[in-house]
Structure 1
Amino acid sequence: MSAEASASLVIGEFAKSGSPEPEDDDFLSACWSATGGNPLLLKELTEALAAEHVDPTAAGIPQVYALGPRAIARRVAMWMRRLPPSCAPLTCAIAVLGDGADLGHAAELAGLDRDEALQAAKSLEHAQILHTAVPSDALDPRWGFVHPLVRAAVYEEITPADCHRAHRTAAHLLRDSQAEIEKVALHLLRTLPSGDAEAVTLLWSAARSALARGSPEAAATYLRRALVEPPPTGDRLDLLFALGSAMRRVDSAAAVPYLTEAHELAGPSRQRVEIALPLGDTLLALRRAEEALAIWQQALADTAPQDTELLYQLNACILSIPLCEPGRPDLRQDILGRVAALRSPKPSESTGGRYLDCVIAGHDAVIGDPRAVVRAQRVLHDAPAGPSDGQMSLSFGWLALISADRREVLGSLDAAVEQAHRQGSVNDLTGALAYRAMAWLHQGNLDEAAADASEAMHTGDASSLDLRRLVLGPVLAEVQIEQGALSRAQTTLEWTGVPDPAPLTGLMYYVLYSRSHLLRLQGRTTEALNAALAAGASFSAAGGDNPAIVPWRSEAALCLHLLGRDEEARTMADAELRPARYWSAPRALGRALRIAGTLSEGDADVGLLRQAVTRLEGSPARLEYAKALADYGAALRRHGVRSQARTLLSDALDIAEARGAAPLVQQILDELHVAGIRPRRHAVTGPQSLTPSEQRVFDLAVAGHTNREIAQQLFVTAKTVEVHLSSVYRKLGVTSRRQLGALAEQTHAAAHAADEPE
């Protein structure tokens, strides 16, 4: 029955019983939902509600769902007593097999011949217990219950021993009929452990199937069940390794015990080294760097010199430690020696070679050596993201390209996000989204950065990735600071879990830099200066000297200026110019020039700010370009060059407004007001104002895709699509998809008319 017909029946049944008639739509909807609109079940439920004197209002909804199952169970028991004896075993068999059961399988499980089973099924259908459906890929009808609660009522009456035997028999029936292996495994999950080696094999096969379709959670469920069967002694090690590998895609902390036991069972062997790789990586993600290092160093000692692939991978892992957990001078010196020894002018095409190249690129990027860019490009440019186990290493290649303002990094990050979705790896998705958010931030695309970072925070909360928080939190906080949401930025930095004062180990320099930026804007200048200097100490402990990664000197310079210590401020700002010029990326150099210019004395400011604008003009760092335009325009206004100042400030305002950088917009408007200049109209609406992500959502929406389909194609959440679509509606001045389509047609027609020859 439809919801409307269901409501009429419920009202009528309440009236018959003399109870108050329901008038609350939510209550009536709950009755329909609880019974699936089945009239007999509705009557049974209504009788129970009336007998219990349930108030038919929203307050009575919990009792609808509480009484519904009991009422339906009574109705089912009554029906079954009236039906032929063959109906009871058939209903139990279909309850075990689940909806869409094949009648032949159900008959065999129930101990009936096919004719008996068919007759019983027809009786059950007539009694509205079962219903039939013919799927598109099957000629024979499949059978199921009219409502999940009916199946539950039948299933709960089966004794545990009978249930175990029925599910084991069902598994064998499905296996023999070559059903999908995961359907077989679902029945084995409901059996009691009995040391059945065949059950272990089937569950293991189902786990491989689940991994292939991108469901590591399901794979882990099958493998855990196989582990308690238990497996033959010789299989336990491989089973533990498989289970730990599946779990680390979704929950690093939960993966550690399985990988650790597998590592201990392996004994000295190549397999032990292979297990050491993901075990150490998982420990490092949990910020247990000392344990990870010890495991990798022992594995390196156990690896044969001719096994170059494992040696590459292990060296990549060990070299990543100082980048993730600085603060060990002894290890730093050893690492520098290894980096020098492992450099190669030729790219390695092996997986391990790619990982090693990325980590070396990361070291070069941190110290500000431009060779990092070429090394990272040859690994990541037009290449797949790589196997899941190597994302920690690949992330250093992403960092190098992001810091160098290389647009092609987004292609590699898009591929990594797609792969993480395909593999169902929450851990990899968190990492790829975090670095893609960083790339968007560096380009000044705040909406895209916020969407990716917010989604990564949501996934990261479920996956125990403590190390990722130290990157992700500061990225989102910086986005929120640029948007003027200082209180939200404060909350985001608290989400990282870093105390105050912060230790100078780990990736604390990201958190400390963002903390300094926020404190300065909050007016807590002395605290901001201390945080900036602490960020510098933490970054230096990792060998860091690249302002494209942590521009702590210019941040400290701004704090010193606010404290009236201008000579120290200029010295600090000038100190950032040297490494920025050497690294030569537009964003870092433009920022260093801009801040040195704003702190300069006399006419030196105009020259430095002009250089900043020139360096940033053609770069992807559009928000930093807008800041340079704004500061250059303000300097020219102070020097009396009013006309050029107007142009520069207006161009800066266009960029800042289009990217939602509210504080920068206000700064420019204030400057224009001081100069007595009326700002021109700015492109904050219309097709030209759409960000890249908004444009992709717009195109797919116009093509007729639903929000869910758009989310699947772009590998984002449906919520992210909703956010982008709302922004599109606002910028284009529409309120519906139909209007979007009409606008797109008008735009296309106008473009076509413009192309027509006169």
Structure 2
Amino acid sequence: MAGQLLSAPAPVGAWAADVLLDAAARAVGKGSTADAVALLRRTLGEALPPARQATVLTQLGSLEFAAFPAAAGIPRLTEATRLSDAPRDRARSAIALGTALAGRGEVRAALTALASAEESLAAEPGLAAALRSVSMLVSDRDQDLRREVYGRFRAEARRAPESADPAGRALATQYESTAGLLSARTALARVRDLLREPVDPLAQSILIAAAAVVALWADELDEAERLVRRGLAEQRASLLHPVHSTLLNIQAEIFAARGDYPGLLAELDSRRAAGAGTAGRPGHTEVLAIVALTETGCLEEAVALADRCDPRDAPDSWERPVLHFARGRLRAACDDPVGALEDFLECGRRQSARDVVSPIVTPWRTAAAECLLTLGRTGDAVALAQEERGFAEVWNTPRRLGRCLRVLGTATGGRYGLELTDRAVRLLRDTPAETDMIQALIAQGRQLAAARERTLARDPLREAADRAERIGAVRLRAVAENALRECGARRRTTPPGGQAALTDSERRIVELAAGGRTNAEIGELLHLARRTVETHLTNAYRKLGIRRRTELSGALDQLLVDTGR
């Protein structure tokens, strides 16, 4: 019936709008955005009351902007905001409009639209607070506006604590964490408490995303992943919301934090195939992919991607310093310590301008210190690493402290340097900071070799090479193996196979597949693209020595016997 209505002259009658909207909802559920857009456009040809017209315009504008950023999405959302009469509908339209404007780089216009809606909803404190939280999230795209919006929120929260909703307070906790004012334990306790407080549904996903970010920075990666899944499950494709891209960015950051570079690259491929991303500039996952390609030994591809991700084309937001950091990692791997140092220092300048001084976003100081060591500027390197150590001790997680101790140990050398590196290895062992652990083991092995303890140096270097092989970190594996050869040795055996060789992501997917879940079901459950699931399963089959899905259950049972579990 809906298909026939598409070609029928409008208007047909009130019933036609119901049929078309039902069909559009089904199309959205199936991911058929083009079909949904066609159905909603045809719906506007029917005689609709203003309130219903506003709802259709909000859905249509959201879908058009997401699928065709240059199309008529923003004018439709502007009209929806004008027509919306019910307070919640007006808030939804304003959030969608603000998201679209910010997505086009018009952050001040987005904040103006959100502020206007907030003022008109002063009699609805829950909705007004939700709009204020959206404004805080949107302001992250502009350095000056971010300081202004967060400053106003914090001042208002001090004056009238009851006006600050849980989502806004979670974002403020995120801000204070990056400013070096909180420990991981304090920040986590705050957001966990806030998650138990009632919050308007329009702000719920912002609260969840802010809590996920804090959990990510605190290396509570499983908790962060659960929160991301929860937040994505609450998103609607037919309603633009700034938190959707935030949740996808956190998901990519979790891959990177685990050192699961193959998984990150597979996810990027899946998003590209689905047409995700912002037209005309790199997305955050692409920026992280520069590091992933670098660490998996694909330097030519990393250089090509970095050339497309020119920092000058990135907005003056949190994305730009992260892009400088990623490009610095690539330049360092390409034996360009001068260029890498320039990028790391620029990253630091831009983050400091945003009141971001903690290394939880990017550890640019220790990265710059390693370049300075290569250039023979040991004193400058120690000073930067010591400065980062001070902030790392405030946040107080093994990843951040271990990294500082490793770089300081390398810079200091001698017995004290080895003690620092040994402490780094002890801190990082049995944590999710896999790449940091590998680097600490390499540093430990090299320092033992420098102390003429070449036999003792071999064990940490072999462990580093095996760990790097397990997660697909080709560059670090090569570094560890080169250091082993310098010690007159090489790896005794091939890397461990079976479950010990599986990454965390591979293990979760394998267990679900062995339990009878299809690839589509696994993707939906974990909020991963099907291609990402397929890539993980292919890698797992190779590591487990099997060829078919039906062999998974037996392979896992055998592993339980072998490990005595």
Query: What is the TM-score with the length of structure 2 in the denominator?
Result: 0.86
1:353 is matched with 165
* Structure with greater contact order relative to length (CA < 8 Å, sep ≥ 6): 2
Choose the corresponding residue for 1:277, options 71, 95, 104: 95
1:402 paired with 2:219, answer no
Separation (CA, whole Å) in 2 of partners of 1:223 and 1:189: 10
1:583 paired with 2:395, answer yes
Structure 1 pair 211–590 and aligned structure 2 pair: CA distance change class (3 A): same
Give the alignment of 1:310-709 within 5 angstroms: 310-328=127-145, 332-333=147-148, 335-342=150-157, 353-368=165-180, 369-370=182-183, 371-379=186-194, 391=205, 394-407=208-221, 408-419=223-234, 431-459=246-274, 461-462=275-276, 464=278, 469-496=282-309, 498-499=311-312, 504-505=316-317, 507-703=319-515, 707-708=519-520
Amino acid at match of 1:649: L
Structure 1 pair 739–470 and aligned structure 2 pair: CA distance change class (3 A): closer
Amino acid at match of 1:401: A
Structure 1 pair 499–367 and aligned structure 2 pair: CA distance change class (3 A): same
Amino acid at match of 1:499: R
Amino acid at match of 1:518: L
CA contact (8 A) 2:522 2:533 kept: yes
1:241 is matched with 58
Q: Secondary structure at the match of 2:493?
A: coil
Instruction: Give the drift of 1:714.
Output: 4.5
Instruction: Give the drift of 1:722.
Output: 2.9
Q: Secondary structure at the match of 1:477?
A: helix
RMSD between superposed Cα atoms in Å: 3.7
CA deviation vs aligned residue, 1:620-669 (integer Å, no higher than 9, x gap): 21221121122122212222344543332232222111111111111111
Structure 1 pair 392–523 and aligned structure 2 pair: CA distance change class (3 A): farther
Amino acid at match of 2:271: A
CA contact (8 A) 1:433 1:452 kept: no
CA contact (8 A) 1:593 1:609 kept: yes
Separation (CA, whole Å) in 2 of partners of 1:215 and 1:324: 30
Separation (CA, whole Å) in 2 of partners of 1:515 and 1:346: 42
2:46 is matched with 229
Separation (CA, whole Å) in 1 of partners of 2:14 and 2:500: 64
CA contact (8 A) 1:287 1:466 kept: no
2:112 is matched with 294
CA contact (8 A) 2:195 2:207 kept: no
Instruction: Give the drift of 1:513.
Output: 0.7
Separation (CA, whole Å) in 2 of partners of 1:466 and 1:403: 29
Structure 1 pair 583–252 and aligned structure 2 pair: CA distance change class (3 A): farther
Q: Secondary structure at the match of 2:452?
A: coil
1:174 is matched with none
Structure 1 pair 241–721 and aligned structure 2 pair: CA distance change class (3 A): closer
Choose the corresponding residue for 2:126, options 309, 312, 316: 309
Structure 1 pair 347–406 and aligned structure 2 pair: CA distance change class (3 A): farther
Q: Name structure 2 gaps, 5 residues minimum.
A: none
Separation (CA, whole Å) in 2 of partners of 1:456 and 1:206: 26
Q: Secondary structure at the match of 2:165?
A: helix
Structure 1 pair 309–740 and aligned structure 2 pair: CA distance change class (3 A): closer
Separation (CA, whole Å) in 1 of partners of 2:536 and 2:474: 18
Q: Secondary structure at the match of 1:189?
A: helix
CA contact (8 A) 1:512 1:532 kept: yes
Instruction: Give the drift of 1:293.
Output: 1.6
Identity %: 27
Q: Which moved more, 1:622-631 or 1:645-654?
A: 645-654
Give the alignment of 1:42-121 within 5 angstroms: none
CA contact (8 A) 2:130 2:203 kept: no
CA deviation vs aligned residue, 1:409-467 (integer Å, no higher than 9, x gap): 111123344555998999977653431221121122333333334333444x4454778
Structure with the greater alpha carbon radius of gyration:
1
CA deviation vs aligned residue, 1:323-352 (integer Å, no higher than 9, x gap): 332145xx625622422542799999xxx9
Amino acid at match of 2:78: T
Instruction: Give the drift of 1:508.
Output: 0.5
Separation (CA, whole Å) in 2 of partners of 1:725 and 1:389: 36
Structure 1 pair 437–238 and aligned structure 2 pair: CA distance change class (3 A): closer
Structure 1 pair 614–678 and aligned structure 2 pair: CA distance change class (3 A): same
Separation (CA, whole Å) in 1 of partners of 2:198 and 2:507: 25
Structure 1 pair 345–677 and aligned structure 2 pair: CA distance change class (3 A): farther
Q: Which moved more, 1:200-209 or 1:690-699?
A: 200-209
CA contact (8 A) 2:263 2:532 kept: no
Structure 1 pair 506–647 and aligned structure 2 pair: CA distance change class (3 A): closer
Separation (CA, whole Å) in 1 of partners of 2:25 and 2:236: 17
Structure 1 pair 411–741 and aligned structure 2 pair: CA distance change class (3 A): closer
Structure 1 pair 629–285 and aligned structure 2 pair: CA distance change class (3 A): same
Separation (CA, whole Å) in 2 of partners of 1:189 and 1:580: 60
Q: Secondary structure at the match of 2:492?
A: coil
Instruction: Give the drift of 1:570.
Output: 1.8
Query: What is the TM-score with the length of structure 1 in the denominator?
Result: 0.66
Separation (CA, whole Å) in 2 of partners of 1:721 and 1:378: 33
Q: Secondary structure at the match of 2:412?
A: coil
Separation (CA, whole Å) in 1 of partners of 2:401 and 2:158: 27
Instruction: Give the drift of 1:599.
Output: 1.6
Amino acid at match of 1:507: E
Structure 1 pair 327–334 and aligned structure 2 pair: CA distance change class (3 A): closer
Separation (CA, whole Å) in 1 of partners of 2:362 and 2:311: 17
Separation (CA, whole Å) in 2 of partners of 1:418 and 1:233: 30
Q: Secondary structure at the match of 1:734?
A: coil
Structure 1 pair 344–187 and aligned structure 2 pair: CA distance change class (3 A): farther
Instruction: Give the drift of 1:578.
Output: 0.8
CA contact (8 A) 2:114 2:131 kept: yes
CA contact (8 A) 1:429 1:456 kept: no
Instruction: Give the drift of 1:232.
Output: 4.8
Instruction: Give the drift of 1:248.
Output: 5.5
CA contact (8 A) 1:356 1:393 kept: yes
Structure 1 pair 291–561 and aligned structure 2 pair: CA distance change class (3 A): same
Structure 1 pair 425–235 and aligned structure 2 pair: CA distance change class (3 A): closer
Separation (CA, whole Å) in 2 of partners of 1:385 and 1:481: 42
1:109 is matched with none
Structure 1 pair 250–684 and aligned structure 2 pair: CA distance change class (3 A): farther
CA contact (8 A) 1:361 1:375 kept: yes
